[in-house]
Structure 1
Amino acid sequence: MNEIRRFDDKKKSIGLGIGIRHLQCFLIFFGQAVAHSLRVNLSVGIVAMTDKSGDSEYGIYSWDEQTRSVILSSFFFGYVITQVPSGQLAHKYGGHKVFFWGLFSCSLLAILTPICADFGGWQLVCALRYIQGICQGSLQPSSSNLLSKWSPVKELGLMGTISYSGSQLGTALMLCVSGEITASFMGWPGLFYVSGGMGCLWGLLFYVFGASSPSESQFISEEEKMYIETLSVPSAESPKDKNEESNRALPTPWLDIMTSVPFLCVVVVHCANNWAYNILLTQIPTYIKGVLQMDIKKNALFSSLPFWVMLALSYFFLIISEVLRKKQCMSMSVSRRFFNTIGNWIPAVGLICLGYLGKENETLVILLLMINVGMMAATYLGFCLNNIDLSPNFAGTLMGISNCIGHTTSIMAPLSVGFIVTDEKNPEQWRIVFFIAAAFLFIGNLLFIVFGKFEPQYWNEPMPVSVKTSRKNSQHSVYKETKHN
């Protein structure tokens, strides 16, 4: 009895303090920040690279809107390829290795972008971005895998929001400083040198201090490891009788996953959210330059504002979520639906409004862009965590499948802009773009509300064939008996 009481006391103190699990969370946070700075650097860079009115001493290229859309989409062609394999690799070998090699390789490649533009034109830039996409395709599945291993149940919302919100820091910071970097002695190539260098520095820290699970960390205390294993998200393994290797040996229930209605709802809402988010992510600089006719410095500042707001609101929504959880005001299922609705339907309304504004409404346009992007932070407490809700054991694989299918829309979204917007100064053409994105957001969240589930599914713990057959026969017998009676 005294042993249990001492452990309970230690558990409380560990739960209130900062531990190695939080270090992993911050490493993922900064990894996501670097990843998205590497992703968005070209969205701003391409404006400077094709600005013939500038006096840059670096290369200026004659790429039309369709060519630029192809370049911006090329990243996602590579990105979708490695999603599912990366989920499987993270499940088999651990999320740490997969996350590290994916982001470190992408950082090294970013430094080569200016050379590729000079010697190979837009075709070689496309090829480079394609390979970078392949590298970054490993990040979301491995992040989900790491969170499922390191997060106690009551800290899942906290650690998940902090980890994923790093993407907003990277996006906002890169957009914010891009104008200054471009205007400096480094010119537009500096965007790629700075973001790539930061990625290499992060890689060294993550390699030393990161770990795939508490049992593999060389820095964690026994008390914290026991605390995490005791209060972690439910999985097939028990810390008392199974080790990490046995958990990784679980066979992936592919058929059950691909026919699961709750999981398919996650995929649909992921597609919808990605379409709208990537329209805003990749096209805000072009939209501001065309419709609002701002110069590169002012453009960079205003392009970054929505993502600073999203970063701030992610923690605001997290605080609300924690207050509601402690006061037991709503169940997990209601909470997931509530925050997902905020993150999808409010931006949908904002996008519709944005379609009717032009240069004469400059302040209102910037305000709506901030609201549209900022409110999407609520989805970190919605569908973004639902893969872990449905299957802690296969969270990385689920994220890989969802992200793979979801980011096909990331490919199509910038391409659609290239075909719809033939005159970037025409607000009516941008209106069509915004209306399509709003429709996707509304339909995706509606399906999530109606058909979503928020507890581990039966296929989270795969059973031997004999057990499955026995269960099916038992269910069939019960059905026959019920029908007979």
Structure 2
Amino acid sequence: MLFLSVVINFFQRVSISAAIVPMTQSTAGAPYYDWTGYEKGIILSSFLWGYALSAVPAGLLAKRFGAKIVILSATGIGGIVAISYPLAATNGWETVVVLRVLTGIVQGAIYPCVHTLVAKWVPRTERGFLTTFIYAGSQFGSALIMVISGFVFESSMGWPGLFYITGGLSLAWALLYVWLGANEPATCRCISKGERMYIESLTGSSNNSQILTVPWMSILKSPAFLGLVAAHCGFNFGFYMLLTEMPTYMSSVLQLDVKSNAALSSLPYFVMGTLCFVVSPISDLLINRGTISVTTGRKLFNSIGQWVPMACLIGLGYMTAGETTEAIVLLTLGVGITAACCCGYLVNHVDLSPNFAGTMMGITNAVASLISILSPLMVGAILTDETDPTQWRVVFFVTSGVYLICNTLFVVIGKAEVQPWNDVPSISTTNPST
């Protein structure tokens, strides 16, 4: 259910990136709008405004009221918002921006809730694989929506159909999760006693973690946490730049039609999702056998996931319309290999503090989202001519520099050991028996 939640919520995120091409082309066979590159940049970046705003409060709400009700509400509300996009577009791009902000607000709750549930449900011996499996939904969701979009755009529904499908699936998932979801093994109605004891003994999350006081200053001053923030920022900046701009790049520079654009735009995310299931067992195997430490494993795989794409983007900067195959290969490799980050920074929150993994994800997500807002705005500022490969080269070089700096910080100061402030009662409580 968590995997499907991530898939469907990425439908909500990515649908506008795929749809904005036919929405602004008069040949698409559906209503179209003459939005400028600047206006499209605002639309694509506005999601992150709301996303950054809600990430930290969502983590706190998940701890206070339980992650189930928060993720359920966020997905359902997001579905209603998705269905509203076609009507909003008729009222101008500003109205679409408002809905994108609302989508960002509800989406900001997803990762903190998932991390809160992961801390309660995923045994540490399987943390790399199962966490990667859940978050692989982001890649499969991105890929599926790109593939589906090509067929939907050419159907009688046109681009509005993409939003109706997204909204319907979101509401269906929310209804199903009312019955199947549970905050923790202790409250699950379809679990054996043996399975419950096994999971609780290997999660490292305190049974009363929902009432622990968050050690804000200890978290924010922790070098290990700051390294994690840097890694998350690097991933988000590159991921959202490619996610939001790849369809435009393929259409304007590689000169692919709408259907080919949709299919090829999805390919890197299918590769990324597949590689998630390759790198995560390798990571768990190396760590569980003692071949490498947890800290070394997190840094190694995060470096693969950010520095290889950095090299690919540098090469992509020199591609032209006559080198479509080479450009697709670099895009596919560059996006696909970021799957290694699932065994790097993405699981590191739980490494540092099982009790506050959701809250920490909220913080890093908020900061990374604020940085990511700059990504489509940067593209909009640089690209005065979307067909000019030399301007795209500048975009790719800037993104490569962000990858280099952020992952270097993670390698230098990052850690993957439970921090002293995770066990708040032993540090701050006034009751020795607690």
Per the shorter chain, which TM-score range?
over 0.9
Task: Quote the offset at 1:327 in angstroms.
Answer: 3.7
Residue 7 of structure 2 corresponds to 33
Name structure 1 gaps, 5 residues minimum: 1-26, 238-243, 471-485
Residue 98 of structure 1 corresponds to 70
One of 102, 107, 110 as aligned partner of 1:136:
107
Normalising by structure 2, what TM-score? 0.97
Task: Quote the offset at 1:91 in angstroms.
Answer: 1.2
Task: Quote the offset at 1:323 in angstroms.
Answer: 3.3
Q: In structure 1, what residue type is equivalent to 2:263?
A: L
Q: In structure 2, what residue type is equivalent to 1:255?
A: M
The DSSP-based 3-state class of the residue aligned with 1:145 is: helix
Residue 256 of structure 1 corresponds to 218
Q: Are 2:128 and 2:281, in contact at CA under 8 Å, matched by a contact in 1?
A: no
Residue 170 of structure 1 corresponds to 141
**How is 1:63-74 mapped onto 2 (pairs within 5 angstroms)?**
63-74=35-46
The answer on 1:343 being equivalent to 2:300 is: no
Normalising by structure 1, what TM-score? 0.87
- 317-326 or 191-200: which moved more? 317-326
Q: In structure 2, what residue type is equivalent to 1:144?
A: H
Q: Are 2:22 and 2:28, in contact at CA under 8 Å, matched by a contact in 1?
A: no
Q: Are 2:421 and 2:427, in contact at CA under 8 Å, matched by a contact in 1?
A: no
String of CA shifts for 1:238-283, please: whole Å, max 9, x gaps: xxxxxx4x32111111111111111011111111111111110000
Which protein is bigger by CA-based radius of gyration? 1
The alpha-carbon distance between structure 1 residues 33 and 155, as it changes in their structure 2 partners (threshold 3 A), is same
Task: Quote the offset at 1:465 in angstroms.
Answer: 7.3
- 354-363 or 199-208: which moved more? 199-208
The answer on 1:329 being equivalent to 2:291 is: yes
The alpha-carbon distance between structure 1 residues 255 and 214, as it changes in their structure 2 partners (threshold 3 A), is same
Q: In structure 1, what residue type is equivalent to 2:409?
A: L
Task: Quote the offset at 1:467 in angstroms.
Answer: 6.9
Would you say how many aligned residue pairs link Structure 1 and Structure 2?
A: 431
Residue 199 of structure 2 corresponds to 228
Task: Quote the offset at 1:463 in angstroms.
Answer: 4.1
Whole-angstrom CA distance in 1 between matches of 2:49 and 2:427: 37
Residue 343 of structure 2 corresponds to 381
Residue 217 of structure 1 corresponds to 188
- 201-210 or 381-390: which moved more? 201-210
Task: Quote the offset at 1:158 in angstroms.
Answer: 1.5
Residue 416 of structure 2 corresponds to 454
Task: Quote the offset at 1:443 in angstroms.
Answer: 1.1
Q: In structure 1, what residue type is equivalent to 2:14?
A: V
One of 123, 129, 152 as aligned partner of 1:181:
152
Whole-angstrom CA distance in 2 between matches of 1:356 and 1:446: 25
Residue 274 of structure 1 corresponds to 236
String of CA shifts for 1:78-112, please: whole Å, max 9, x gaps: 11111001111111121111111111110111001
Whole-angstrom CA distance in 2 between matches of 1:181 and 1:466: 56
Whole-angstrom CA distance in 1 between matches of 2:219 and 2:197: 30
The DSSP-based 3-state class of the residue aligned with 1:394 is: helix
String of CA shifts for 1:367-390, please: whole Å, max 9, x gaps: 000001001000000000111111
Whole-angstrom CA distance in 1 between matches of 2:284 and 2:124: 13
String of CA shifts for 1:404-438, please: whole Å, max 9, x gaps: 00011221100110000111110100001100111
The alpha-carbon distance between structure 1 residues 467 and 131, as it changes in their structure 2 partners (threshold 3 A), is closer
Q: In structure 2, what residue type is equivalent to 1:113?
A: Y
The DSSP-based 3-state class of the residue aligned with 2:354 is: coil
String of CA shifts for 1:181-203, please: whole Å, max 9, x gaps: 01001000011011111111111
One of 128, 147, 156 as aligned partner of 2:127:
156
String of CA shifts for 1:29-63, please: whole Å, max 9, x gaps: 110000111111110101000012x051x311000
The DSSP-based 3-state class of the residue aligned with 2:158 is: coil
The answer on 1:43 being equivalent to 2:14 is: no
Whole-angstrom CA distance in 2 between matches of 1:318 and 1:248: 29
Residue 480 of structure 1 corresponds to none
Q: In structure 1, what residue type is equivalent to 2:306?
A: N
Residue 374 of structure 2 corresponds to 412
Task: Quote the offset at 1:177 in angstroms.
Answer: 1.5
Whole-angstrom CA distance in 2 between matches of 1:455 and 1:306: 32
Q: In structure 1, what residue type is equivalent to 2:123?
A: P
Q: Percent identity?
A: 42
Task: Quote the offset at 1:325 in angstroms.
Answer: 3.5
Residue 34 of structure 2 corresponds to 62
String of CA shifts for 1:314-360, please: whole Å, max 9, x gaps: 11112322332354321111111111111010000111111011111
- 458-467 or 160-169: which moved more? 458-467
**How is 1:101-120 mapped onto 2 (pairs within 5 angstroms)?**
101-118=73-90, 120=91
Residue 438 of structure 1 corresponds to 400
Residue 98 of structure 2 corresponds to 127
Task: Quote the offset at 1:231 in angstroms.
Answer: 1.7
Residue 145 of structure 1 corresponds to 116
Whole-angstrom CA distance in 2 between matches of 1:382 and 1:143: 17
String of CA shifts for 1:110-138, please: whole Å, max 9, x gaps: 001101111x2111111111111111110
Q: Are 2:212 and 2:425, in contact at CA under 8 Å, matched by a contact in 1?
A: no
- 314-323 or 219-228: which moved more? 314-323
One of 48, 63, 66 as aligned partner of 1:76:
48
Task: Quote the offset at 1:466 in angstroms.
Answer: 7.0
Whole-angstrom CA distance in 1 between matches of 2:38 and 2:428: 56
Name structure 2 gaps, 5 residues minimum: none
Residue 19 of structure 1 corresponds to none
String of CA shifts for 1:129-184, please: whole Å, max 9, x gaps: 11111111100101100000001110111110000000111100000111110100
